Chains A and B, each alone.
Chain A
Amino acid sequence: MRNSLPILACFLGGILLGLTSLVPSGPLLGQLTDGTLYGLLFLIGLVVGGSHGAWRGITLSPDLGLVPLAAILGTLAGVSLAAAALPGLALSEALAVGAGFGYYSLSSILVTSLRGEALGVVTLLANLLREILTLLLAPVLARLFGPLAPIASGGATAMDTTLPVIVQAVGADYAMLAVWSGLVLSLLAPLLISIFL
């Protein structure tokens, strides 16, 4: 599974099937997703708990601060540059969108209530896309930018939805670091958004 192609195929297949409206909308889809995610995290826990290397990750102490910091500063620097290229978008708005760190449900609700629908939709799409990009590109990012890259790219989602692809791409040794980094970013996302807006 070091290849992104099967994941891309699954994703596109899901979108196409979703567009046909053959699938009944309702709470069932969300419940199925949650159930799969819970089962998957139990499986990842099994692999992490059973592998010897995984526990070294906890003692690599500088990473525990540096990786979340890199994800935060890298993201905010990136969206600041993008804001300069996007007419009609204030720097503070771009920073707030970036500070979602992939946590699209919470960040889009928060931004909508602070700054209205339009920026709320941008926040939803940008952070959803961040999760999708990480899911699809984790192996590529790891190859180009090293094993910490998928963790930084996953942002807040590195502790749950993108954790499986991160572990598949860089190995169980990095699982605990990914969970930690995701947790830190999940807690900081609402705080930073309310500071920026």
Chain B
Amino acid sequence: MLILLFLAAGILAGFLLRGHAGLLGAADRLSALSVCLLVFLLGLAVGSNAAVIRNLGPLGLRAAVLSLAGVLGSVLAARLVFWLRAHAE
């Protein structure tokens, strides 16, 4: 929930800084860079987690199938909602 507090503070600051296009553009570019850093840190956590690396066998395969099926099901449902919304307008 602390995360939502940071987001809310940013939204408030952004709202107050409306019209400062240069500053908001810089924030956008900086956030793209932070995404790379964050994904790098996640990779670091995965790579150095012995329990995760050790279990990348049969349990990992089962997890991968479930994960892919869940992602695929959810994006197909999202596609349906997007289609319904486009046709409702």
- Bound together, the chains give a CA A49 to CA B62 distance in angstroms of 41
CB neighbours of A6 from chain B (8 A): 36
Interface residues contributed by chain A, number (CB under 8 Å)? 93
A residues 8-54 touching B (CB-CB < 8 Å): 10-19, 21, 23, 25, 29-30, 32-33, 36-51
Is A173 part of the contact surface with B, judged by Cβ < 8 Å?
A: no
CA of A1 to CA of B35, assembled, Å: 10
Within 8 A of B (CB), among A127-172: 127-135, 141, 144-149, 151-153, 155, 159-161, 164-165, 167-168
**Minimum C-beta distance from A39 to chain B (A):** 7
Option from B7, B28, B74 in Cβ contact (under 8 Å) with A70: B74
Among B14, B18, B32, B69, which residue has the most Cβ atoms of chain A within 10 A? Answer: B69
**A37 in contact with B24 (CB, 8 Å):** no
CB-based contact A148/B82 at 8 Å: yes
Q: Is the CB of B39 within 8 A of A130?
A: no
Count residues of B near A (Cβ-Cβ below 8 Å): 71
Note all chain B residues with C-beta closer than 8 A to A125.
52, 55-56, 59-60, 63-64, 67
Q: Which of B1-20 contact A (CB under 8 A)?
A: 2-4, 6-18, 20
Binding site for B on A (CB under 8 A): 1, 6-7, 10-19, 21, 23, 25, 29-30, 32-33, 36-51, 62-63, 66-67, 70-71, 73-79, 81-82, 85-86, 89, 94, 97-98, 118, 121-135, 141, 144-149, 151-153, 155, 159-161, 164-165, 167-168, 179, 183
